[in-house]
Amino acid sequence: MKRHSVIRKIQSLFKVPNFTSEEAKKLGVSSASIAYYVKTGKLERIARGLYRSLCSPTVEHFQWEDLIVAIRQTKKGVICLISALALYELTDEIPRQHWIAVPNNTRHRADQSVRVIRMRNISLGKTKIVLDKLALPIFDRERTIVDAFRYLSKEIAVKALKKAITKKGKEKIDIEKLRKYAEKLHVKIIPFIMVLTT
C-alpha cells in the first residue's frame, strides 16, 4: 500500500485528540504502517495502542487527558465510581487514580494510574460522555451513585446522592431508575433516598 494513501485513509482520525490501533485497522491501516509513521515522526505513540497525529486538535479538557488515555486503553472498560462522580460534579474527592470498571472475566494489564474494578453487570446503566469529541463509556449518574454505596464509603455515597438530588434539568437524577438499579444490584439505599427527598 502506498504511504500517502495510508495517511488519506486515517485522515478522519486526526480530527480527535487520539486514536487507537483498532480504529486504524477498521479503516484498513496495518500496525506496520502505523509503526512506520511513528518512526518517521508523522504520528506519535502516546500509550500502548494509542496514537495521535501532529495535526490532531489539542485537548480542551486537559484535566481529563490522562483519564481519556486510560479508558481508551482499557478494553471493555467503563468510567466508574470516583472518576464518574468527579465528571458528574457529584463529589469533592480528587481522583488520584482513574476508576474503570471491567467485566468480571476480563484480563487487564496492571497500571498504577488506573484502579480497575471488576463487575458482573457491566451493561446496566452504561452510557457515553463526550470529551474532546470522543464518546467515552461511563455509567450514568444513577448507576454511579448505587455503585458508590457498594464500593465507597457511606459518607462519599450519601454526599453524592445529596448533590444529585439538588441538580436540575438534564443533570437531574431519576429517582425511579435509581431504585430499580439498587434493587437489581441488591443495594439498600431506599432509606437514604426517603430521608433526602422528604
Model pLDDT for residues 113-168, shown as the tens digit of each residue: 899 999 989 999 999 999 888 899 999 999 999 999 999 999 999 999 999 999 88
Q: Identify the bridge partners of residue 42 per DSSP, sorted by sequence position.
A: none
Separation between Cα atoms, residue 22 and residue 43, nearest integer Å: 15
Mean pLDDT of all residues in the chain? 87
Helix (H, G, I), strand (E, B) or coil at 142: helix
Q: Give the H/E segment covering residue 75.
A: none
According to DSSP, the β-strands at 43-47 and 114-119 are unpaired
Q: Look at residue 180 and tell me whether its pLDDT is greater than 90.
A: yes
Domains and CATH numbers, the chain: 3-53 (1.10.10), 62-197 (no CATH)
Give the predicted TM-score (pTM) of the model.
0.77
Identify which has the larger pLDDT, 190 or 155: 155
Helix (H, G, I), strand (E, B) or coil at 124: coil
What's the gap between Cα 118 and its chain centre? 15
